[in-house]
C-alpha cells in the first residue's frame, strides 16, 4: 500500500486570514497529480539524457563505443514484496579491444516518488 503524502505547506494561509474554508481535497489531489506528472516527465528526460550519454560513452583506449555493460547485483534474498536488490559491481567491456572500464560520470537518477513502482 502506498501512502500518499499531501503537501500542506500552502494550506495554512487560509487559516491565518480567519476565514477558514474547508479544503477542497479534489484540488489538493489535482495539484499533487500535476506535481507528480511533472516529476515523472523530468525523470524520463533525465533517463533519456543519461541513455544518450551512455550511448556515446567510449572506450578510453580505442575510443570505440561498441561495448558490453556488465553489472552484478546482490539481493536480500526475499522474493516478492520487500525484495531489494542493489548493484555491487558495474563496468563496461570494450568489444573492440577487450579492456574493462568504468563509467566515471554515472548519474544516479532517483525515482520521482515512491508508490508507483
Count other C-beta atoms under 10 Å from residue 81's C-beta. Answer: 5
Torsion of CA 10, 16, 22, 27, to 10 degrees: -20
Contacting residues toward Zn ion, per CB under 5 A: 59, 61-62, 64, 94, 96-97
Quote the least distance from Cβ 96 to Zn ion, whole Å: 5
Q: Strand, helix or coil at 41?
A: helix
Quote the least distance from Cβ 95 to Zn ion, whole Å: 8
Residue 36 or 96: which CB sits closer to Zn ion?
A: 96
Residue 31 or 64: which CB sits closer to Zn ion?
A: 64
As given in the structure block, the three cell numbers for residue 30 are 489535482
Quote the least distance from Cβ 78 to Zn ion, whole Å: 39
Amino acid at each position: 500500500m502506498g501512502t500518499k503524502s499531501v503537501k500542506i505547506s500552502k494550506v495554512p494561509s487560509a487559516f491565518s486570514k480567519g476565514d477558514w474554508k474547508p479544503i477542497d481535497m479534489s484540488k489538493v489531489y489535482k495539484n499533487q497529480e500535476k506535481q507528480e506528472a511533472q516529476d515523472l516527465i523530468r525523470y524520463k528526460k533525465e533517463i533519456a539524457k543519461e541513455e544518450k550519454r551512455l550511448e556515446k560513452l567510449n572506450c578510453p583506449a580505442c575510443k570505440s563505443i561498441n561495448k558490453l555493460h556488465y553489472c552484478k547485483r546482490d539481493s536480500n534474498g526475499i522474493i516478492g514484496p520487500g525484495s531489494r536488490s542493489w548493484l555491487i559491481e558495474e563496468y563496461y567491456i570494450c568489444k573492440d579491444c577487450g579492456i574493462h572500464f568504468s563509467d566515471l560520470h554515472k548519474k544516479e537518477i532517483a525515482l520521482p516518488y515512491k508508490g508507483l513502482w
